[in-house]
Amino acid sequence: MKADDPGGAMESSAARLSGVAFGALGTGLVLAGVISIAMGLPYQAHNMAPLAGPGEIGRRLGEISPLLAAALGALVVAGVVLLLGARRLKPASAAVELIVLGAAIEVCVLGAIGRIGYAADGSVLLAGVACLMGGAAVVAAGLIVALARE
Amino acid sequence: MKPRSSDAVRRGVGLVLAIDALALAVVLATAPAAFIWLDGSRPSPLAVSSAGASGSGAASPAATVSPGVASPSPSGAVATPTESAPAQTLTYGDGTWSRIPSLPQPLWGTGSALLKDGRVLVVGGSSGPVSSTAVATVEVFDPQANSWAAATPMLQARAYPATVTLPDGSVLVVGGSRDGLPLDSAERYFPDSVSWVSAGTMSVPRTHSTATVLQDGRVLVVGGGSDASSTFKSTNTAEIFDPATGNWTPTASMASSRALHTATLLADGEVLMAGGASTYHGSKGTVRATAEIYDPKSASWRAAAPLSVARYHHTAVLLSDGRVLIAGGWSFTTNTDPSLATAEIYDPAAGTWTPTGSMAVGRARARMTALPDGRVLVVGGVDPAYRVMATAEIYDPATGRWQPTGRLATAVMWPAMAVLRDGRVVVAGGALEALAGHVTAVCAIYTPPAP
């Protein structure tokens, strides 16, 4: 984009704004899903008991590491989104980061889906679905930000 | 460069908005896509089945009992399934787990017994990690109606009781605990009148004890945690309940105190006690490898050959050939050692223990029962990493091997379990984690694979 191209700037701003919105949506969904599963509220995962407290994170690290990684990925996405919204990050760089983070979140959630895919009563666990949606939203954020021409 | 026109700007922003809408649609579509994928990729195909069945064989009294476990009916007549409420069926290779209606409330540490009419009685239990949340509720599962119905509550709320079906069809519920205190009371359920009657009090309070119906119809109650303090010190005492008189009579004591042991009625009428712990509070307990045999004729105990390893929280069943299979458990009370996957068989004729095939994974606080065809089903329990499992395994005494036989919809520890007349197995409730902080009400029926 050239500096004297106000139309392009507007498109870029719109793309940034959209990317930020999708990134925030993805972060929220992933974090909400992970917290729900970790606390067993409102439904318990069929093969992952809720954490009794923070002290259990270390003891059950092997079991919860995929979810932990997804949550950490979501937090990094939140950071990227903040920097993008504050124009401290180039859209091209942010786009790559968001796409990679979104894909990583999806891989982590899918890796744990055998434990968290279903609720204790056998129905599909909404929190697991929310995590998958969150990862998709982050990838979408990356693709949209890639449209920003700066 | 000439600035773009306002039309071009509108088109550009419109393009971004269109892409936004498309991306939003894709993200939103992830939810139904995930639903469809997860629903279709359960570990088994989903189907609607008729889960009810009517049995024709006569129920027999429970003879081999760990706390809360109903023993199987040996009458293996397979009944014709009848129409009933549809249930989800989960098939994982061999063996089928079918969802049935859940208990009215989450419970674990319940007692269960097969009634003479083929229904399953589930009594007491706890909705939380400790017996302060013990309940007096009684639920009856009717396999034909595929439904649970509430029955008259017990006289006393209790968790971890020992429960047996007596020859007259009544059910004796013994001991257990409430508010952390072992109970000395016993009560008796009469299905015909749907009523509970006090069955007196034992000489000492007992929780995690065993109750075994002897061949003459009397009930031998042995060991259990008897200390009212928080140490859960176990007792070596034993006493006998006579259903004809309703009286308790002390009998000879074991050489060792034990709780969370197993008791198995042998074919010759003697009773084998195996394993157990002196106390099971933290690291203060000693887990026994010893075994003792009670002879009802002489009312005396004698030492049996010891187990290969100390075990408590293990499971035991009488095999159809008269031998006794013992599997799993823990060897220490420290709550840090891994659960045992090993199993061993006691041969009463030779008086020896012989190792047999190990389970695929260590299991403590699992439920195990003999199927009418002679095989043995073990369900759930705590794995070596202190996670509660949803998996089940089936043991074939002919081969001495365990095979995975699917998994329940939820992980369970100490659910209620009972073998129906048609050979299927009801599993009800259970704890979702080793500390029982979360408990489930989910129930399932297992249909064994063809031998």
Q: For the residues of B348-382, what is the DSSP string, one character each?
A: TTTTEEEEEPPPSS--BS-EEEE-TTS-EEEE--B
Q: Which residue of A has its CA nearest to B21?
A: A18
| Strand locations in B52-102 (E) | 86-91, 96-100
Whether A150 shows a pLDDT value over 90: the answer reads no
Dist. CA B47–CA B145, nearest whole Å: 19
Q: Is A124 on the interface with B (CB under 8 A)?
A: yes
Which of B1, B19, B432 lies nearest to residue A147, judging by beta carbons?
B19
pLDDT of A9 reads 58
Dist. CA B283–CA A116, nearest whole Å: 33
The whole-number average pLDDT for the span A99-103 is 94
Token digits for B180?
């952390």
Q: Return the residue in B30, B100, B439 with the most chain A beta carbons within 10 A, the one to mutate for interface testing.
A: B30
pLDDT band of residue B50 (cuts 50, 70, 90) is: very low
pLDDT of B91 reads 38
Give B329-347 pLDDT, tens digit per residue: 998 877 667 899 999 999 9
Q: Return the residue in A2, A11, A29 with the most chain B beta carbons within 10 A, the one to mutate for interface testing.
A: A11
Whether B93 shows a pLDDT value over 60: the answer reads no
When comparing pLDDT for B228 and B313, which is higher?
Answer: B313
Is there a contact between B276 and B234 (Cβ–Cβ < 8 Å)?
yes
Burial readout B261-278 (b: 16 or more C-beta within 10 A, e: otherwise):
bbbbbbeeebbbbbbbbb
Nearest Cα residue to A128 out of B382, B406, B42, B44 = B42
Cross-chain residue pair A144–B19, CB shorter than 8 Å: yes
In chain A, domain spans = 18-51+59-146
Is there a contact between A102 and A144 (Cβ–Cβ < 8 Å)?
no
Average pLDDT, chain A: 84
Whether A97 shows a pLDDT value over 60: the answer reads yes
pLDDT of B42 reads 53
Whether B222 shows a pLDDT value over 50: the answer reads yes
| CA distance to partner chain A, nearest, from residue B44 (Å) | 12
Q: Return the residue in A106, A113, A118 with the most chain B beta carbons within 10 A, the one to mutate for interface testing.
A: A118
The whole-number average pLDDT for the span A98-117 is 90
Q: What residues contact residue B101 under an 8 Å CB cut-off, 6+ apart?
A: B85, B146, B147, B148, B443
Cross-chain residue pair A6–B437, CB shorter than 8 Å: no
Amino acid at B46: L
Percent of chain B surpassing pLDDT 70: 83
Nearest Cα residue to B233 out of B276, B274, B198 = B276
Q: Is A137 on the interface with B (CB under 8 A)?
A: yes
The whole-number average pLDDT for the span B65-85 is 33
Give B269-327 pLDDT, tens digit per residue: 999 999 999 886 656 678 999 999 999 999 999 999 999 999 999 999 999 999 999 99
| CA distance to partner chain B, nearest, from residue A133 (Å) | 6
Cross-chain residue pair B9–A7, CB shorter than 8 Å: yes
Which of A14, A25, A113 lies nearest to residue B13, judging by beta carbons?
A14
The answer as to whether B4 is a domain residue is no
Q: What residues contact residue B34 under an 8 Å CB cut-off, 6+ apart?
A: A124, A128, A129, A132, A133
pLDDT of A47 reads 67
Is residue B327 within a helix (H) or strand (E), and if so which, with residue range? strand B324-327
Q: What is the CATH number of the domain that holds B171?
A: 2.120.10.80
Return the biggest CA–CA distance within chain B: 112
Q: What is the pTM of this model?
A: 0.65
Whether B127 shows a pLDDT value over 90: the answer reads no
Which of B4, B39, B390 lies nearest to residue A47, judging by beta carbons?
B390
When comparing pLDDT for B419 and B27, which is higher?
Answer: B419
Give B33-45 pLDDT, tens digit per residue: 887 777 666 543 3
pLDDT of A33 reads 94
The whole-number average pLDDT for the span B255-268 is 96
The secondary structure of A70-113 as a DSSP string is HHHHHHHHHHHHHHHHTT-S-HHHHHHHHHHHHHHHHHHHHHHH
Percent of chain B surpassing pLDDT 90: 61
Token digits for A77?
């996405």
pLDDT of A120 reads 61
Q: Which residue of A has its CA nearest to B87?
A: A122
Dist. CA B213–CA B218, nearest whole Å: 6
The whole-number average pLDDT for the span B81-91 is 33
Torsion angle, CA of B22/B24/B26/B29, rounded to 10 degrees? -130
Nearest Cα residue to B208 out of B180, B250, B245 = B180
The answer as to whether B8 is a domain residue is no
pLDDT band of residue A10 (cuts 50, 70, 90) is: low
Q: Which residue of A has its CA nearest to B390?
A: A47
Domain count along chain B: 1
The whole-number average pLDDT for the span B154-170 is 96
Give A15-46 pLDDT, tens digit per residue: 888 899 999 999 999 999 999 998 888 887 76
Q: Range of B278's domain?
A: 18-447
Report ipTM for this prediction: 0.72
Q: Please count the residue pairs, one from chain A and one from chain B, whose beta carbons lie less than 8 angstroms apart.
A: 124
Q: Chain B residues within 8 A (CB-CB) of chain A?
A: 1, 3-6, 8-9, 12-13, 15-17, 19-20, 23-24, 26-28, 30-31, 34-35, 38-39, 42, 88, 90, 99, 102, 385, 387-388, 390, 409-411, 432-433, 435, 437-438, 440, 442
CA angle B185, B191, B197 (to 5 degrees): 30
| CB-CB neighbors (< 8 A) of A137 in chain B | 27
| CB-CB neighbors (< 8 A) of B31 in chain A | 129, 132-133
Q: Return the residue in A1, A16, A124, A138 with the most chain B beta carbons within 10 A, the one to mutate for interface testing.
A: A124
Average pLDDT, chain B: 84
Which of A2, A52, A122 lies nearest to residue B1, judging by beta carbons?
A2
Q: Which of A4-13, A60-69, B56-65, B184-193 has the highest mean pLDDT?
A: B184-193
How far apart, in Å, are the Cα atoms of B307 and each of B26, B144, B354, B375? Answer: 61, 41, 9, 22
When comparing pLDDT for B21 and B216, which is higher?
Answer: B216
The whole-number average pLDDT for the span A105-110 is 92
The answer as to whether B224 is a domain residue is yes
